[in-house]
Chain A
């Protein structure tokens, strides 16, 4: 059952925590995100289907990482929708970053609709082994 649940997908719409009003009539979704950390960096993988590199905006300010993706308005083709499981919209999500990050070395890459963000830890935040003197 747990596995079934894992496989199910759902686009979550951004909540009302977004205080400012939107100017465009497109829904905003929270992109599904994986986050992992090793001793050198923090990595985020985000599903943003439909986005290419020019549509992504990444901002790290006062420990808050903000990612926004503005897709171009879907072209109004003369298609009659028969069955709909997903809607097209923009993406927006913010994370509080606890670690000290070396802002200059943040790397972002987008491939096949997956945004990969590598945030290297600042030297001061890396674990150091302290040699014990006898």
Chain B
């Protein structure tokens, strides 16, 4: 399977196809595990599709919209920002429990298809981020008619 020869002879696009295949396979393997045994980077994301739209939701409690950065390039969306450490400036406190993640975060998410960067809408409500992304024109399926001679 993974022989160096295969890596060397492959062109760039072959390599990409292979990488994508690998990612899909990884998703399949990890996706089949029960929820309890999976751990994710902060923030966790869900991706769903409806018609020609992708809806990405993410739980980002305590992250202010100004501290959030969303970028879209072709079929990859990056989500980065900072989650404030509310205990950093507290003086004379005794910390008993610390479970909430804090600090900088960065995630690159591969979307099911290429999206139009002009048609992205993000809203945040009660710590849940929702991003709607529309499919790029070039990615729309086109019906091809067969001409008769």
Please report A residues at the B interface, Cβ cutoff 8 Å.
Answer: 6-11, 13, 32-39, 45, 47-52, 77-87, 111-114
Contact of B46 among A34, A81, A113, A114 (CB under 8 A): A81
**Binary contact track B34-60/A, C-beta < 8 Å → 1, others 0:** 011011111111111110001100011
> Does chain A have a CB within 8 A of B148?
no
5 inter-chain pairs at a CB distance below 8 angstroms, sorted by A residue, are A35-B95, A78-B50, A81-B47, A112-B124, A113-B62
Contact status of A34 and B86, CB under 8 A, knowing A8-B39, A113-B62: yes
Given A8-B40, A80-B48, 10 additional A-B pairs, CB 8 A: A9-B41, A33-B99, A36-B96, A45-B100, A80-B49, A83-B31, A83-B47, A86-B40, A112-B64, A112-B127
Complex interface: chain B residues within 8 A of A78 (CB): 50
Chain B: interface residue total (CB-CB under 8 A): 45
A38 & B94 in contact (Cβ 8 Å cutoff): yes
Complex interface: chain A residues within 8 A of B87 (CB): 34, 36
B40 & A10 in contact (Cβ 8 Å cutoff): yes
> Does chain A have a CB within 8 A of B105?
yes
A112 & B93 in contact (Cβ 8 Å cutoff): no
A33 & B97 in contact (Cβ 8 Å cutoff): yes
Q: Which residue of A lies closest to B51 (CB)?
A: A78
B127 & A113 in contact (Cβ 8 Å cutoff): yes
> Does chain A have a CB within 8 A of B3?
no
Contact of B100 among A33, A37, A39, A112 (CB under 8 A): A33
A103 to chain B minimum Cβ distance, whole angstroms, is: 20
Complex interface: chain B residues within 8 A of A38 (CB): 90, 92-94
Complex interface: chain A residues within 8 A of B61 (CB): 47-49, 112-114
Complex Cα gap A113–B58 (Å)? 12
Give residues of chain B (71-117) contacting chain A, Cβ–Cβ below 8 Å: 86-87, 90, 92-101, 103, 105, 112
B78 to chain A minimum Cβ distance, whole angstroms, is: 16
